[in-house]
Structure 1
């Protein structure tokens, strides 16, 4: 009986040790990337823009070239990253950090600086791509697609 338990344990250890772990591989890519610039408080639109963030205030986008480059790199399967800071009507920043490893987009959603935000931890998500969506028949937005969890990310395309 002990012999069978030992064989079962060894077999399970070999199977576990030889199987791939995609999450671990994605985390390794994320750890090797250059960190985002530090967030200067209070994170107002001018400071966010100077830090290199793509900034969205009242539907207007600043540092648009950084967003376009990120989208193009995703389409070409080239690793890239971008931080998008969107401001609510009240002026609260909501920060999205997107890291693309050539296959998947790791997103971090941080609304802790918004007075109506969660005040809790940042939310992590994994998505497979970016697409456009029309809203109201006349506005087009970029959205994340193929996400593990429902995505709240949308950014105007114009």
Structure 2
């Protein structure tokens, strides 16, 4: 009886050890999904969704932006959605996903009356830097982007 239990245990261990090592079964999947955008995407809804909200009068959820910048600097994966509002109240949405080496930027200005109706635009950039405007204001910008011009800038 003990001998048959030992043989059965060894057989189970061998079968378990011989499972497929197919990479698709062992990869931990990260979906990098953002909360669904509820229309109309007003500043209060964007803030409740966890977006960093940039308005003329200031920034909401600024701590999320600071954490994202810190994580990029320290090469830790992170993501953030930044929703900026125009003078007319149109939402311009930037989704930034940092994988530890590059930032995938997605730009959507389709909710802005003066925006492009061509859909979302993407760009890949290597980092975040700062830029000073002619008026002396400092902005965060994406740096070393594949496409020459990055559409992203946020007040520092």
Give the TM-score category using the shorter length: 0.7 to 0.9
For the residues of structure 1 that align with 2:152 and 2:126, how far apart are their CA atoms? Answer: 13
For the residues of structure 1 that align with 2:32 and 2:106, how far apart are their CA atoms? Answer: 16
Q: Deviations over 1:59-90 (max 9, x none)?
A: 51110000000000000000000000000110
Displacement of 1:110 in angstroms is 0.2
1:59/1:153 CA distance change after superposition, 3 Å:
farther
Tell me the C-alpha RMSD between the 2 structures.
1.6
Which residue of 53, 56, 66 maps to 2:54?
56
CA contact (8 A) 1:131 1:143 kept: yes
Displacement of 1:120 in angstroms is 1.8
Higher helix share: 1
2:67 is paired with a residue whose SS is helix
The structure 1 segments of at least 4 consecutive aligned residues displaced by more than 6 Å after TM superposition are none
Q: Which runs of 5+ in 2 are unaligned?
A: 1-26
- What is the TM-score when the length of structure 2 is the normalising length? 0.79
Displacement of 1:33 in angstroms is 3.4
Q: Which runs of 5+ in 1 are unaligned?
A: 1-27
- What is the TM-score when the length of structure 1 is the normalising length? 0.78
For the residues of structure 2 that align with 1:139 and 1:153, how far apart are their CA atoms? Answer: 15
For the residues of structure 2 that align with 1:137 and 1:93, how far apart are their CA atoms? Answer: 24
